[in-house]
Homo-oligomer: A and B are copies of this chain.
Amino acid sequence: MGTTQLETVPEPKYWHLKTVLSEALDSEFSVGEILPNERDLAARFGVARATLRQALEQLELEGRLQRRRGVGTTVAPPRVGVAVGTEQHAWPGLAGDVWQPADCVQAAPPAAVAAALETAPDEAVHTVRRSRVSHGQPVAAELLYVPASSVPDLSAIDAPSGPARARAVLRELHRLELEGRDSSVELGSARADDAKELDRLPGAPVLVVTTRFLAAGRTAALSVATYRADTCRLTFGDSGGVEIHQTPERRAS
């Protein structure tokens, strides 16, 4: 009738809040700047703290914000592009590899890994832990599973564990001829150990890159790499990848 339609679809408060904050971040804040604390922000927008947090959570998921307990909420730098698809035909650990070997133990892998490696569920495999750092920040943690059959000549004189052992396993692996590899990317949440290494809380969103290395007609090694989803943009292909900042839908301008 005479009433104008105020809101056909009442937008959730946290969604609207996210839009407002996002625009404020673009125009009024610079990278690294610290925001008012959550209680103040909530009061300023006239919402409960939980609602404000729902908006902040999404912005953090999108890599716009960084929150740290005991410190505060800061404006995050643009996501860093990390190459994961280059050197399609190189083994891990060759010269120029960005990964840093941290440790190596021999243990029974998770069932799914054993299945992919075609080893018995309780058969121990070499498990190399590596970490990846970019711009001074840890961006990824990796577990590389190498069945004993892929490195038959691994010398017993090497250390039984530790970085030296890790390098020894990689060195032996390089003696095989790499026939190909394939990868997959999916969303996951950080396990406790990965979270610690990535300087995040357990459950933080991560991009899990699983890579299978093929040699001698079978899976010679399997890598499960966990990247921080908030700070990383994974790049594949010929060159560095594109930096597209996914903008929210345009308002009538």
Contacts and interface: CB of A to CB of B under 8 A. Distances in A.
A182 B244 CA distance: 13
Interface in A88-133: 88, 110-113, 116
Interface in A159-199: 180-189, 191-193
A141 to B, nearest CB: 12
By CB atoms of chain B within 10 A, which of A15, A189, A240, A246 has the most? A246
Given A187-B205, A246-B224, A239 B116 contact: no
Contacts of A79: 186
B184 A236 contact: yes
A112 B187 contact: no
Given A232-B186, A234-B186, A236-B236, A222 B248 contact: no
Interface stretch (A35-43, A68-76, A146-154, A208-216): A208-216
Given A63-B187, A85-B183, A188-B246, 4 more contacts: A62-B188, A184-B241, A185-B207, A186-B207
